[in-house]
Amino acid sequence: MIESAILIKQGAEARIYTAPFLTRTAIIKERFSKTYRHPTLDKKLTARRVTQEARCLFKCRKSGVDTPVLYFVNTENSTICMEFIQGMIIKDLLISDNEYIQNKEKQDELAEKIGIALAKVHAVDVIHGDLTTSNLMLRESNQSLVIIDFGLSYVSSLPEDKAVDLYVLEKAFLSTHPNSEEMKNYKASQGILSKLAEVRLRGRKRSMVG
Amino acid sequence: MQSFTLEPFPTRGQIHILLYKNVSNAAELRKRLLSHDQELSYAFIDAKMVLDKFQLLVATNDAVQHELNSSLKTHNVHSEIVYSLSPTTNISESLRRFGISDSSTSIVVVKVGGNSEEARSHLSTLIHGEECDIKDFSNFVDISRIKKYYKIDDKINDQNEMLDIIVGSIAIKSVS
């Protein structure tokens, strides 16, 4: 671990630090071991998740989605170094920025950006897995929408998985930002949208009866 | 010449980067490298394939990590830098594409550890050419070749965007 790293956030899966990295500033995501798991299993699971996150992150970046740039992956100590994004988290923007609270046009513009970015992510069959307004940012320099935290991401081409991804985002909007129902913009194939209607009726989890 | 510290591996010493132009003895250097000449403990890279120093530092960081984990794919940390620059895992192809060729005239040298002035004076006896500022990478870079080897979409023309994809390709290699 880099000595001068500063802890900025701690979640259930990982700790987030900022640190100087080869002339730039990086975000370091360190997955820690879970003591309640068997050590061998823990090591395998953690290594796999680090790998999976790095791959999905880079896959999206390469296909033109604005995501943090991947700098360094170290499976030995389960860390990923990536670009530090200068900007605002969408959640804070929608809660505390008056411009976004009052201006309908601003909201529509943001919704369009989110829709376009998600369409690109799903176009390369990456399922983000944790779409909430806390995992979306607006880059300060060019107001581009940045998708962050690919910790729960995986690759799948199933409309079902893409629909659930959208459903999770919709629920996140409704629960953290009431009265935001009108903010929707995602040009997807009919298949995914009809699946979404299905998922809305039954919830995120599939029925396992029968 | 410029020297840098790798923050993830501060104990490995400084990284020195030098750039030479009008080099006339690339063929001789390459021959000595192929015969594992111990005197040449430097990474020799074709300047055509270098867009920015950050690209070199990320590759060097990967190479040093492999060295410390004893997971080097090539003979030593310096050849590993050349290998790490490449997005593919084919060693001979990586060295051919990113290392110097007989016809190279502009060369980037990366040295891991050691004293910077000692490295510079030693290199001045090895390389027949002029040292220049490493800010001048853009004078020698071959963008179309970079795009081809890093498989960058032709629509992308912004150099910063290109660099992001290059750096990502280098970093993802350790888990692909």
CB B8 to CB A81 under 8 A? yes
Among A18-32, A142-156, A172-186, whose mean pLDDT is lowest? A172-186
CA-based nearest residue in chain B for residue A5: B7
| pLDDT the model gives residue A138 | 95
| Closest CA–CA distance from residue A125 to any residue of chain B (Å) | 18
pLDDT at residue A15, as a whole number: 95
- Give tens-digit pLDDT for A17-67: 999 999 999 999 999 999 999 999 999 999 999 999 999 999 999 999 999
CA-to-CA distance for A90 and A102, rounded, in angstroms? 15
Provide the CATH number for the domain around residue B122.
3.30.2380.10
What domain count does chain B have?
A: 1
Question: Is the separation of the CB atoms in A131 and A161 below 8 Å?
Answer: no
DSSP letter for B99, please.
B
The better pLDDT of the pair A101, A137 is held by A137
Comparing A3 with B73, the larger pLDDT belongs to B73
Whole domain around residue B165: which residue ranges? 2-175
Which whole number is the average pLDDT over B87-98? Answer: 95
**Strand pairing report for A70-74 and A79-83:** antiparallel
Residue B103 identity (one-letter amino acid): S
Confidence of residue B50 (pLDDT cuts 50, 70, 90): very high
pLDDT tens readout for residues A71-95: 999 998 999 999 999 999 999 988 8
For the question of whether the overall pTM of this predicted structure is more than 0.80, the answer is yes
> Is residue A180 pLDDT above 70, yes or no?
no
Tell me, letter by letter, the H, E, C secondary structure of B49-110: HCCCHHHHHHHHHHHHHHHHCCCCCCCCHHHHHHHHHCCCCCHHHHHHHHECCCCCCCEEEE
Q: Which of B3, B7, B81 to mutate to test the interface with A (most CBs of A within 10 A)?
A: B7
Q: Are strands A136-139 and A154-155 parallel, antiparallel or unpaired?
A: unpaired
Please indicate whether, in this complex, the C-beta atoms of A22 and B6 are within 8 angstroms of each other: yes
- Determine the Cα–Cα distance for residues B94 and B87; give it in Å rounded to an integer: 8
Distance CA(A65)–CA(A126), nearest Å, equals 11
Model confidence over B101-152: pLDDT tens digits?
A: 999 999 999 999 999 999 999 999 999 999 999 988 999 999 999 999 999 9
Task: Provide the CATH number for the domain formed by A6-83 in this structure.
Answer: 3.30.200.20
- CATH 3.30.200.20, chain A: domain bounds: 6-83
Inter-chain residue contact B57 with A23, CB threshold 8 Å: yes
Q: What is the pLDDT of residue A187?
A: 58
pLDDT over threshold 90, residue A100: no
Q: Which residue of A lies nearest to B62 if distances are taken between CA atoms? A: A72
Alpha helices in A103-181 (DSSP H): 104-123, 159-176
Give the domain A87-202 fold. Transferase(Phosphotransferase); domain 1 (1.10.510)
Statement: residue A177 has pLDDT above 80: no
State yes or no: ipTM above 0.85.
Answer: yes
Q: Where in chain A is the domain with CATH 1.10.510.10?
A: 87-202
What residues of B are in the A interface, CB distance below 8 Å?
4, 6-8, 10, 53-54, 57-58, 61-62, 65, 69, 153, 164-165, 167-169, 171-172, 174-176
H or E element that contains B163: helix B159-172
- At A187, list the tokens: 């040009």
Q: How confident is the model at residue B5 (pLDDT cuts 50, 70, 90)?
A: very high
- Residue A182 predicted with pLDDT over 60: no
**Position A167 pLDDT exceeds 90:** no
CA–CA dist B147, B162 (Å, integer): 8
Percent of residues, chain B, with pLDDT higher than 70:
100
Query: Do B175 and A61 lie within an 8 Å CB cutoff?
Result: no
